[in-house]
């Protein structure tokens, strides 16, 4: 990127979303940016011609897809989530647009959520809450998490944060990424995606934190669930379409899998008729693992840093490899 000069015309930056707000930039750069606020799809279509950057406060995918046909100078899109599968198709034909995601904003909150789910399943908290609602006093023993083995599928920012927290409570953690590589202090080992089925039988907890790509869509189906041990628990905080929900439910109902905790689903909201709602072996949450009280503030800080870099012609944080569908760290 070329650094902007004081004599240059301001860069037109579209801020899209009902909660869109102007961002802070480094002192001295205020005159280098002109903000356009687009609250809805129609605003966005009108704001994009002549715009140099699009910063999305909300991932309204269809309005963004439709409006991108109206852009003529766009150089950068900032997406408000880690997963970018919704916007990737249209960018395949727009190689001049840099796409960045919100990696780093959601990593630790999701990791904390996963740790909470692991502890909830090990300590049988769902049953405790159910018994409390019935005024039922029933003593029972629960499990330790120390010494248990976790397999984290997806070794990006979220996967690494999950591994750090699970390791902190005494679990051993193996990662699964695109290619095999040695352990690095966070993961005891990183296995190649091609070897996932080989690693599954040893895991007490299998955690999906992978992005949705052509390779991961429908990845967890009957074959992989059949490779897990009957006492294993499965957690998905990646993308719903990575999991065949019917196959998962069948594995739970036939005792081939002990329990599951799902925060993402093939269809969201999860339809009332889904068998996942009524299963005592499943914890269902509404795609909320990464959202915390100060998420908006954390996004604003990331957006502001990246906008300053954009105006100064510097490299942007969290650049997505559009051909892969995620940030390439190799």
Residues that are catalytic? 239, 268, 287
Instruction: State whether the Cα torsion 73-75-77-78 is positive or negative.
Output: negative
Q: Are strands 76-78 and 233-236 parallel, antiparallel or unpaired?
A: unpaired
Contact 312, 3 (CB under 8 A): yes
Q: Is 157 exposed, middle or buried (0-12, 13-18, 19+ CB in 10 A)?
A: buried
Full strand arrangement of the beta sheet holding 233-236: 181-182, 189-192, 172-177, 149-153, 205-208, 233-236, 259-262, 282-284
Q: Please state, in angstroms and as integers, the Cα–Cα distance from residue 130 to each residue in 125, 213, 289, following that order.
A: 9, 38, 22
Helical (H) or strand (E) element with 224: helix 222-227
3-state secondary structure of 78: strand
Distances in Å between the Cα of 112 and the Cα atoms of 140, 152, 159, 201, 212 are: 26, 14, 12, 25, 22
Ordered DSSP codes for 10-70: PEEEEEESTT-------TT-GGGEEEEEE-SHHHHHHHSTT-SEEEESS--HHHHHHHGGG
Q: Which residues contact 133 (CB under 8 A, 6 or more apart)?
A: none
How many C-beta atoms surround the C-beta of residue 100 within 10 A? 22
């Amino acid at each position: 990127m070329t650094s902007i000069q004081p004599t240059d015309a301001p860069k037109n930056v579209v801020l899209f979303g009902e909660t869109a707000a102007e961002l802070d930039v480094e002192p001295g750069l205020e005159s280098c940016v002109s903000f356009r606020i687009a609250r809805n799809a129609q605003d966005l279509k009108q704001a994009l011609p002549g715009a140099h950057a699009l910063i999305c406060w909300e991932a309204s995918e269809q309005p963004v897809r439709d409006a991108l046909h109206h852009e003529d100078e766009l150089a950068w899109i900032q997406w408000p989530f880690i997963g970018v599968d919704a916007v990737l198709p249209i960018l395949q034909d727009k190689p001049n647009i840099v796409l960045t995601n919100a990696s780093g904003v959601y990593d630790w909150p999701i990791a904390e959520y996963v740790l909470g789910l692991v502890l909830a399943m090990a300590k049988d908290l769902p049953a405790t809450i159910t018994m409390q609602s019935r005024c039922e006093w029933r003593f029972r023993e629960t499990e330790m998490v120390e010494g248990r083995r976790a397999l984290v599928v997806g070794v990006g920012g979220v996967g690494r944060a999950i591994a750090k927290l699970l390791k902190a409570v005494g679990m051993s953690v193996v990662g699964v990424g695109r290619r095999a590589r040695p352990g690095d202090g966070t993961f005891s080992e990183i296995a190649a995606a091609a070897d996932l089925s080989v690693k599954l039988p040893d895991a007490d907890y299998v955690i999906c934190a992978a992005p949705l790509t052509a390779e991961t869509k429908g990845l967890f189906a009957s074959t992989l669930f059949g490779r897990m041990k009957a006492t294993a628990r499965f957690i998905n905080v990646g993308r719903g379409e990575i999991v065949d929900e019917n196959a998962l439910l069948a594995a739970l109902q036939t005792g081939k899998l002990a329990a599951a905790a799902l925060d993402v689903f093939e269809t969201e909201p999860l339809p009332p008729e889904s068998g996942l709602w009524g299963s005592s072996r499943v914890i269902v949450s509404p795609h909320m693992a990464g959202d915390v009280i100060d998420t908006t503030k954390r996004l604003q800080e990331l957006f502001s840093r990246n906008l300053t870099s954009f105006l100064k012609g510097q490299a942007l944080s969290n650049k997505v490899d559009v051909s892969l569908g995620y940030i390439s760290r190799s």
